Structure 1
């Protein structure tokens, strides 16, 4: 039986996922912008976010949340984390009972420090909540490059069913029951991408990038496991895989932010010039609070936070990390 998919959010990744699921099943995407909706329906493109990409011709678009949601058997949330709850509340009156809700966001809500599946559970108790995550750069997928992702749901049966909704040609989807670990891996790696971007922008070199990625993985694993994620998850696609892709690619928004800071631009200027959200900028605030709550030392995240919010320079950040006493690689720290 084919499932009707409703997807909220017309950015690059939301549009990419909608185009992928449209290959397998009836999919309708919601976007606020009427021009975007008209463009998707009439030209099968979304030039603002995916220049040059041709979307699946079966994909339909609408400016009406009700139209997209009321017949959906699966709801996918392609909404940035700071607007996630608000849009979910708008959709709430039209969501059918018990349907799975899958988040694409890789961030944490400011103030509550909640993951998106926690927001779903709070706003819509009883709905199976999961996340699609992994090393997935939207523009590469549209260019026909192979990629792998993880659909994380606590219920194995639902995860297996949704695997078939997302699996598409060169886009391979694996299942995982560790929703906490998968979700945290996606959120925390964005801060490490800003750090490596800073290094690349300042011409720190390949060795520095490798060290930041490796120690960054150790750092996000410490917090992730303290919060209930499984260590093995952070060595997989949702952890190391996503970390490597985001920290190494100029197509990554968070790496871009760090790179421009490394080149001397101000954060305000960088954000103003971007038409998409770099989740790591705001997630850095929530992560510093969580590190304190769980008593986990996160030196890289701390230095990134100081650059973003306390006026430190990239040089200050690197000096701060160099001054740290290096212990055993097998021990936390």
Structure 2
């Protein structure tokens, strides 16, 4: 999924610092809007595009140095196809800030972008970034990950400010998977909280979820160290401990007996962990990866088990040593 690290880019870090960059953000939801606010804080030009808006996609991306996708997973493939028809210049930096898995191909957003635009540098933006807190101007940190170091650095300086610290990484897939897989775990933690199981249970669940996420992520090509960073453990902690997290609220609602459709209706926005859980089980079955926590979340979301039964199933697993991180 690598673009050549030596291929040209439309704007580099020094140019970002010295002049106004032209950025198009695809997706005018809470996340896209929060990211636009960060970029405007640095005096760069932002076009915020929505499928429901009046501006055409062609006009929105025309002349952009950087195109960032903040749309939900269900819209990624269709939007990428539209972009492909617009003959995007190969030096344009493509950034994905979507956390999910494609139900048809089981690919991540960055894999979809890189497969479609093999000559363009692709950057993943991922971290513990609850959009409501960013919108409020509260401090946060994230990771810009790419196999194209210069593109990652340009994105780093595009967003970095006194309230938003941006780190670089050479592991886009690991950064992306960390942010994607923790959404499933957040649903499980929401159930734990909704059932009032206490701090001990929540701590144990999050701790045991880490080996599961690492096991999946490294099997699929991510680097282990990445999962202990901001886009892995950091994102998991934020999403699993805040009621601002949509996925946490899904689990919490299920624990209180609400139907899934009602919960999603009340959220009014996408909880990516629901789709991710279904796709993840496809991958786990295909690759024979043990995913006990994610599997119970999958069963719960699909009405095969109650929240109480899900907890009981996890507590009744065979006893084992904790010595191996990936057990």
Asked if TM exceeds 0.5, the reply is: yes
What residue in structure 2 maps to residue 259 of structure 1?
252
Equivalents in 2 of 1:92, 1:275: separation in Å?
A: 30
Equivalents in 2 of 1:160, 1:130: separation in Å?
A: 10
What residue in structure 2 maps to residue 124 of structure 1?
117
CA-to-aligned-CA distance 1:180-201 (integer Å, 9 cap, x gap):
1101001100000000001111
What residue in structure 2 maps to residue 6 of structure 1?
24
Secondary structure of the structure 1 residue equivalent to 2:92: coil
Q: Select 2:45's aligned residue among 26, 33, 36.
A: 26
Query: Is the contact made by 1:72 and 1:96 (CA closer than 8 Å) also made in structure 2?
Result: no
Secondary structure of the structure 1 residue equivalent to 2:85: helix
How large is the RMSD of aligned CA atoms in angstroms? 1.3
The Cα of 1:275 is off from its aligned counterpart by 1.4
Equivalents in 2 of 1:236, 1:110: separation in Å?
A: 27
What residue in structure 2 maps to residue 301 of structure 1?
294
Q: Select 1:92's aligned residue among 77, 84, 87.
A: 84
Q: Which runs of 5+ in 2 are unaligned?
A: 1-14
Q: Which runs of 5+ in 1 are unaligned?
A: 35-61
Matched, 1:145 2:164: no
Query: Is the contact made by 1:223 and 1:296 (CA closer than 8 Å) also made in structure 2?
Result: yes
Matches within 5 A, 1:71-86: 71-86=63-78
**What is the TM-score with the length of structure 1 in the denominator?**
0.89
Q: Select 2:56's aligned residue among 48, 51, 64.
A: 64
What residue in structure 2 maps to residue 104 of structure 1?
97
CA-to-aligned-CA distance 1:244-270 (integer Å, 9 cap, x gap):
000000000000111100111011111
Query: Is the contact made by 2:122 and 2:148 (CA closer than 8 Å) also made in structure 1?
Result: no
CA-to-aligned-CA distance 1:208-263 (integer Å, 9 cap, x gap):
11111111111000111111111110000010000000000000000011110011
Q: Select 2:313's aligned residue among 291, 302, 320.
A: 320
Which structure has more RCO (C-alpha within 8 Å, separation ≥ 6)? 2
Secondary structure of the structure 2 residue equivalent to 1:79: coil
Equivalents in 1 of 2:153, 2:266: separation in Å?
A: 40
The runs of at least 4 consecutive aligned structure 1 residues that moved more than 3 Å come to none
The Cα of 1:74 is off from its aligned counterpart by 0.5
Query: Is the contact made by 1:187 and 1:283 (CA closer than 8 Å) also made in structure 2?
Result: yes
The Cα of 1:296 is off from its aligned counterpart by 1.6
